[in-house]
Amino acid sequence: MINGIIVIDKAAGMTSGDVVYHLRKLLKQRKIGHAGTLDPEVTGVLPVALGQATKLIELMHERPKAYEGEGMLGLATDSYDLEGQVLAEQTLAEPFSDQELQAAMQSLTGEITQKPPIYSAVKVNGKRLYEYARAGIPVERPERTVTVSRYELTAPSRFDAAKGRQTFSYRVECSKGTYVRSLVNDLGEKLDVPAVMTKLRRTASSGYSLADAVSLEELAADPDHLLEHVQPIDSFFADYPQADLDDSLWQQVKNGAWIKLPLDADMVALRYNKKVKAIYRAKGQGRYCPEIMLLSNE
């Protein structure tokens, strides 16, 4: 079994589940799971955990994400992207200045309250929002608090005077649970015009970036070198405090025992034979208990 993380540069037109399906066939391995769903038309970084690394998926979700995309002022849809039904159109007589756009973006940074799009996988009373939308059933969308650390223009905006539409390119860095589609829609509300997301690409997630990513097509074309693209489990814990175990402590850790460490850290990666074998959590007075066991990590 392969243990590690493979970062896929997901193509448009496929779901995150499709990526897992293709990897299972390619690797001939069942124990695989992705960390952070991407909508079918969104491209970019999709970290996929293999083998023992599937135990890390919840931690992987906690890491910030980064995106680059495009939006358009003058059109709004029910899904907040071009896949949905048009709800509003407005011909802009003149464009907003880039300073106005950036100021509105800045007002949407920090800790903000956000409503997910109606076409999203958020659950309400056991059903996903998109199920209510497809059935035409009205439902109150739950508000959630997210953190947007960066929302900014990446290039001068463009104005099509003939169509009365203004397009803009942006970069977003945010916490888990943030819907970038909603950020574009919210920008339109700040400016009092319809707005829609037209393109999105995730550039970083779970501590990995596009520089670490490989496409499914590349993997399938060169299966003999597939393992070269697998990030070791230890790479995920590069920023964690580390402690090397002697033989005595290793025997205790293998049995899931609490141990004492001369550290002051909430979480620590325990290494044996130069490999992370467990993540332990502080319980006070120098005592640590098991959080995640990775005993098969070789």
Active-site residue (options: 9, 39, 81, 186):
39
Q: Token pair of 54, please?
A: 């599937």
Spatial neighbors of 32 by CB under 8 A, at least 6 apart, are 20, 23, 24, 48, 49, 50, 54
Spatial neighbors of 158 by CB under 8 A, at least 6 apart, are 166, 167, 168
> How many Cβ atoms from other residues are within 10 Å of residue 137's Cβ?
9
Show the CA angle centred on residue 23, arms to residues 21 and 28, nearest 5°: 100
- Answer yes or no: 212 catalytic: no
Q: Which residues partner with 161 through β-bridges? A: none
Alpha-carbon torsion 2, 34, 217, 238, what sign?
Answer: negative
Q: How far apart are the first and last CA of the chain?
A: 11
Is residue 156 within 8 A of residue 98, CB to CB? The reply is yes
Cα separation, 65 vs 63, whole angstroms: 7
* Residues identified as active-site: 39
